[in-house]
Amino acid sequence: MSGTTTAAAPSGRRTPGAGANRWVVLVVLCVSLLLVAVDATVLHVAVPAVTEDLKPGAIELLWIVDIYPLVCASLLILFGTLGDRVGRRRVLLLGYALFGVASAVAALADTPHVLIAARALLGVGGAMIMPATLSILRQVFPDRRERALAIGIWSAVAAVGAAVGPLLGGFLLEHFWWGSVFLINIPLMLVSLPVGRVLLPESTGERDGPWDVTGALMAAAGLFGLVFGVKRLGGEDPLGSTTLTCLVLGGGLLFAFVRRQRRRTHPLVDLAMFTRPAFSTSVGCIVLAMLALVGLELIAAQYLQLVLGLSPLETGLRLLPLTIAAMAAGLAGSRMLQRFGPRRMVAAGFCLTALAVVALIGMGGEDNAPLLLTGFVLLGFGLETTLFGAYESMLSEAPQTQAGGAAAIGETSYQLGAGIGIALLGSVMNAAYAPGLSSVRGVPAADSAAAGHSLGEAYEVADRLGGVRGAALRAAARDSFVHGLHVTLLVSAGLLLLGALAALRLPWRMECGVASGEGQPTMPAPREEAGVPAKSSR
């Protein structure tokens, strides 16, 4: 890469350094991440239009929505470790191409099955792109201070993508047909492919021994079963045979995968990374942070629309401060990390988020805009502070040769935490909500049971009953939902405080690299190779 210098990696190979073009590389990587982040949420607002046009069944519609995150989460370890072996840039560029082709197929899909297949291919492309962006970032920013700033920008872009998805989707649906939400990917891919080929550096990890194809497939199948089972835990049949089978098979395959990696001379994933407190703690913190974020966002959206009666656009605007605060935390994260260190930064992020959650218990049946604004700002800033510190610690703690595998583990924990959050907090919410509708005066038991499934269904039953009974059921459902929301927030606050305690295992200070002979900072290679934990942060 022109304008860069190189430094010897621990294994003796030459690696791309942090030269003049490293910030241009960061821009290309951020565009990659933006595409994946937007595509993860852009379809949500298009579901009604897709349903009207393609007329999918209930199961088909579920697969249209869920197949992308399921496939993406399942294949992260496979493609992350493959990038370490055959080249991270190569895998990233193939992901670009596949993402563009799959987007075109999805936009032009004329049957539910074609759309499901296209969304699955998008998941494959996303799994190729996500770990490659982080591992290349790890490669071109060997100086830890600069890498922390780069990760802050990277994470801020992720927050933007998640927020822009529904807003962009709503705008496109107002002016075009639903397929346009996929077509927007194609011009960006057409630009990213040639630019990435010219600007991105190629890098690999250890190439000793064969790539463990069997282990990669075991990890993919195990993660698919586990994530799918976790998602079903939050559904209507949480303990059904399908859910339990997926959880048992998925967990069993992952257990077998771990045993296989421990026995192999050249494992697919170096499980010794988990013996380093900073790495394993960072992974756990990512899971806990995502568990709180996704579950709370889902419940908050329902509260804003069904209790306060806001439109989808108004709901998106109310949640926008959360995203803006997350962007600010990402951009300020590098300075905070250098000043406070990983332990204080991640623990403080968890505590700030817990404070925001406790403050939001003040939400009731009436709109309290100042409280919501304050709570969402604290929530966004606290969670992004936590995720920033955890990601930087995890990535810095991993040896450079395992960057792809480490990035894949981080992204997998992110996806798994999101799935567990929806299932766990959704179950807590339902358990606290349903009993309040069991004895509404004048409402038949069958209608009360149906209303106990969700607040939206309770409103439908109330409209059908009409009159005094309908009004009583609607009021009871709103009160029960608010009660369930308060209970869920308390549980979430407890989990966040647990995360703050876990963060105390992180290093106190951020240990940075030392200058090489060329004056270029590098990571302390002898400590990594010897398995001695480097002081880390996100």
Cα 105–chain centre separation: 25
Contact in structure between 532 and 384 (CB atoms under 8 Å): no
- What is the rounded CA–CA span in Å between residue 183 and residue 186? 6
Long-range CB contact pairs, 107-110, < 8 A, 24+: 107/179, 107/180, 107/181, 107/182, 107/183, 108/179, 109/54, 109/179, 110/54
pLDDT of residue 534: 37
- What is the rounded CA–CA span in Å between residue 148 and residue 151? 5
Query: Do the two domains 20-210 and 272-424+494-527 of this chain adopt the same fold?
Result: yes
Q: What is the DSSP string of 63-126?
A: HHHHHHHHHHHHHHHHHHHHHHHH-HHHHHHHHHHHHHHHHHHHHT--SHHHHHHHHHHHHHHH
Q: At what angle do helices 213-233 and 241-263 cross, to 10 degrees?
A: 150
Contact in structure between 248 and 232 (CB atoms under 8 Å): no
pLDDT of residue 105: 92
Q: Residue 236 in 3-state DSSP?
A: coil
pLDDT of residue 295: 65
Please provide residue 15's backbone torsions phi and psi, each rounded to the nearest 5 degrees. Answer: -125, 150
| Nearest in space to 28 (alpha carbons), one of 119, 140, 117 | 140
Q: Which CATH number fits domain 20-210: 3.40.640.10, 2.40.50.140, 1.20.1250.20, 3.40.50.1820?
A: 1.20.1250.20
**pTM as predicted:** 0.72
CB-facing half-sphere around the CA of 91: CA atoms within 13 A: 29
Helix or strand run (H / E) with residue 6: strand 6-8
User: By CB neighbour count within 10 A (0-12 exposed, 13-18 middle, 19+ buried), where does 304 fall?
Assistant: buried
pLDDT of residue 238: 66
Residues lower than pLDDT 50 in the chain = 1-20, 514-538
pLDDT of residue 19: 46
pLDDT of residue 58: 66
pLDDT of residue 45: 66
Q: Report domain extents, the chain.
A: 20-210, 212-267, 272-424+494-527
- Measured between alpha carbons, how far is residue 91 from residues 66, 129, 136, 262, 446 in Å? 24, 7, 11, 26, 54
pLDDT of residue 535: 36
- What is the rounded CA–CA span in Å between residue 473 and residue 437? 7
Q: Residue 15 in 3-state DSSP?
A: strand
Please provide residue 17's backbone torsions phi and psi, each rounded to the nearest 5 degrees. Answer: -100, -170
- What is the rounded CA–CA span in Å between residue 181 and residue 107? 7
Query: Which of left, alpha, beta for 514 (phi over 0: left; psi -120 to 50: alpha)?
Result: beta
Record: fold of 272-424+494-527: Growth Hormone; Chain: A; (1.20.1250)
Q: Residue 175 is encoded by which pair of tokens?
A: 């002016």
Which DSSP letter does residue 46 get? G
Q: Give the number of other Cβ atoms within 10 Å of residue 167's Cβ.
A: 19
pLDDT of residue 15: 41
pLDDT of residue 349: 92
